[in-house]
Structure 1
Amino acid sequence: MAKTSILTELKNFMMRGNVVDMAVGVIVGGAFGKIVSSLVSDVIMPPIGILIGGVDFSDLSIVLKEATADAAAVTINYGTFLQTVFDFMIIATVIFFALKGISKLRTKKEEEPAAPPAPSKEEVLLTEIRDILKEKK
């Protein structure tokens, strides 16, 4: 009986709307991340590389110890770090503008409040009667 209740609880947990939405968000986010990474590495970085003299950022490194027959070279690959920073900045910018566009679609343009309708004849008459009664006091 304990297995059934645990399985039921697990099923109920997994079928909650927010858990399913989060799973979809993670999957779509992963795919979107690949698209943006390709945009950065294949479209944006080559012109930047040309502007700075044809340097490919991923090749930039500082050699701390040259390679020997027994061991590979020890390097600080700051170009890879720069590439990752540029990726982050571009991803953040793309997400910012995407969310800004989505929020514009969600929020409807606020209509200007309509002018209050003119009082009816009855209201005007009642207002006049009220004013006359105030004057008599």
Structure 2
Amino acid sequence: MLSEFKEFAMRGNVIDLAVGVIIGAAFSPIVATLVENIIMPPIGYLLAGIDFSALAITLPTPTGDGVLIKYGLFLNAVLKFVITAAAIFLLIRAINKFQKPKVAEAAAPSPSEVYLREIRDALVKK
């Protein structure tokens, strides 16, 4: 069982996934800062000074304390996701441009294709 686990853990896909998770974790604070400090302030300014992180709905409770539904934080999270997805898309697109195109190998024709070609060639000769 230990040797099977070692074989599984050393596969290329598992290592690639681990690297992706680590890079994603390091990329998250950059995106958070970009959204919160660079993108959201101009959007809030254009929308008459609305601070999205402060947007919330207060639901009254019998005890008098309000329950906050902070939908502004949700909007920030959605925007972070969209920016992250776009950045990853652009990164993958750039990587794909630099990779050499794979040359497709010509598949051997099926027996029926060979017979059809022979028939065609025989008809052309007549």
Letter of the 1:45 counterpart: M
- The CA deviation string for residues 88-128 of structure 1, in whole angstroms up to 9 with x for no partner, is 222222222222222222246xxxxxxxxxxxxxxxxxxxx
* Shift in alpha-carbon separation, 1:67–1:92, aligned structure 2, 3 A: farther
Match of 2:24 among 29, 53, 74: 29
Letter of the 1:104 counterpart: K
CA–CA separation in structure 1 for the residues paired with 2:57 and 2:34? 27
Match of 1:56 among 39, 51, 58: 51
| Equivalent pair of 1:65/1:75 in contact (CA under 8 Å) | no
Structure 1 runs not aligned, ≥5 long: 1-5, 109-137
Number of equivalent positions: 101
Letter of the 1:11 counterpart: K
Alignment RMSD: 2.1
Q: Aligned pair 1:17/2:12, yes or no?
A: yes
Q: Please give the residue correspondences for 1:1-137 in structure 2 after superposition, counting only pairs within 5 Å.
A: 6-65=1-60, 72-107=65-100
If the length of structure 1 is used for normalisation, what is the TM-score? 0.63
If the length of structure 2 is used for normalisation, what is the TM-score? 0.68
Letter of the 2:30 counterpart: I
Query: Percent of aligned positions with the same letter in both sequences?
Result: 50
* Shift in alpha-carbon separation, 1:20–1:49, aligned structure 2, 3 A: same
